[in-house]
């Protein structure tokens, strides 16, 4: 097992999620930066579906209770093994009782820790992911938790280092018209595509809240709840858009003005990051 000595501000168990249950009200969940977790798993010899830790902003510290290979990917952060510097983005062979410390993110927002064998908490609907909205999966990781590990499943990857690009200071997201884009004035639709927004500090795994020009509605009536998909841009009563992420609800009552093609860049975007939308290329 691994023992959580310091969980940090927000650490959860994540894998590639539980797709296919939206018709029952269950979102996909899973790692927000799915590519970073897949890479960490490949580095330690795990299948890409194995569960690891998603660590937000302030890092964490764990102790291994058996010898294992670990890898840290995602946000740029210092890594130490028993107070000695170690390299992120490569497999690290650690003895039993070793203490691994992942520091606060210098760039980006979320780091991912994979351990050989994978975290073996009980799966729910085929996934070990923590869903922060519905409560499915294991609870949020706390100081003192002990998480079981599965047996090693393969040798670590024969690599010395995997480069990772720095997160962009400005995101450009492709936006397609949503099912209720006609509930907004032409000026609102034009404003969404031609003015910058900033990511709000109150964003989380459910959604990235944006701050900027309000989007006036052309239809003022109430909207019955209807299905919500990953990347849906919903506009609440205050007119500030919200982009739904992995733990999004499967239905919602505010109109959806558009849908973002790929929300992956938002996984590493800090509050204050500029977001610009553009239409699909033709």
Last residue of a domain, one of 116, 147, 178: 147
The reply to whether 6 and 143 lie within a common domain is yes
- Residue 250 has a CB neighbour count (10 Å cut-off) of 19
The reply to whether 136 and 185 lie within a common domain is no
> By C-alpha distance, which of 131, 92, 143, 108 is closest to 14?
131
The reply to whether 16 and 129 lie within a common domain is yes
Which CATH number fits the domain that encloses residue 111?
Answer: 2.60.120
pLDDT of residue 282: 63
Last residue of a domain, one of 147, 162, 196: 147
The reply to whether 178 and 118 lie within a common domain is no
For 133-181, the pLDDT digits (tens) are 989 999 999 999 999 999 998 888 888 777 777 777 899 999 999 999 9
Rounded to an integer, what distance in angstroms lies between the CA atom of residue 32 and that of residue 244? 11
The reply to whether 44 and 175 lie within a common domain is no
pLDDT of residue 55: 98
What are the residue ranges in the chain where pLDDT is below 50? none
pLDDT of residue 129: 98
The structure tokens 């062979």 sit at 93
Taking the model in full, what pTM does it have? 0.94
Which CATH number fits the domain that encloses residue 253?
Answer: 2.40.100.10
Dihedral-angle region of residue 57 (phi above 0 means left; psi in -120 to 50 means alpha; beta otherwise): left
Average confidence score pLDDT of the chain: 94
Pairing of strands 170-177, 274-278: parallel
The reply to whether 45 and 102 lie within a common domain is yes
pLDDT of residue 169: 83
Cα 75 from chain centre: 11
The structure tokens 């690290």 sit at 92
Last residue of a domain, one of 96, 115, 147: 147
Residue span of the structural domain in which 203 resides? 170-278
For 71-92, the pLDDT digits (tens) are 999 999 999 999 899 999 999 9
First-to-last CA distance in the chain? 51
Rounded to an integer, what distance in angstroms lies between the CA atom of residue 276 and that of residue 282? 18
Which residues are CB-contacts of 210 (< 8 A; sequence separation ≥ 6)?
A: 197, 198, 199, 200, 240, 241, 242, 243, 275
């Amino acid at each position: 097992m691994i023992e959580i000595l310091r969980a940090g501000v927000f650490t959860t168990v994540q894998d590639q999620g539980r797709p296919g249950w939206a018709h029952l009200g269950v979102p996909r969940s899973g790692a927000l930066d799915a590519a970073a977790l897949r890479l960490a798993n490949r580095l330690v010899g795990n299948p890409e579906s194995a569960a690891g830790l998603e660590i937000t902003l302030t890092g964490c510290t764990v102790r291994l209770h058996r010898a294992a290979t670990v890898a840290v990917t995602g946000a740029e952060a210092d890594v130490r093994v028993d107070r000695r510097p170690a390299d992120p983005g490569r497999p690290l062979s650690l003895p039993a009782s070793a203490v691994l410390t992942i520091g606060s993110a210098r760039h980006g927002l979320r780091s991912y820790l994979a351990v050989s064998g994978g975290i073996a908490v009980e799966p729910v609907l085929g996934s070990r992911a923590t869903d922060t909205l519905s409560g499915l999966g294991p609870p949020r990781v706390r100081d003192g938790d002990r998480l079981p590990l599965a047996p090693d499943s393969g040798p670590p990857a024969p690599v010395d280092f995997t480069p990772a690009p720095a997160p962009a200071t400005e995101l450009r997201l492709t936006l397609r018209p949503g099912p209720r884009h006609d509930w907004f004035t032409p000026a609102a639709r034009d404003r969404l595509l031609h003015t910058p927004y900033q990511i709000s500090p109150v964003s989380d795994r459910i959604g990235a809240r944006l701050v900027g020009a309000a989007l006036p509605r052309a239809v003022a009536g109430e909207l019955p709840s209807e299905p919500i998909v990953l990347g849906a841009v919903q506009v609440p009563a205050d007119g500030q858009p919200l982009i739904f992420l992995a733990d999004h609800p499967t239905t919602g009552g505010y109109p959806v003005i558009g849908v973002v093609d790929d929300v992956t860049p938002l996984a590493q975007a800090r509050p204050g990051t500029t977001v610009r939308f553009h239409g699909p290329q033709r």
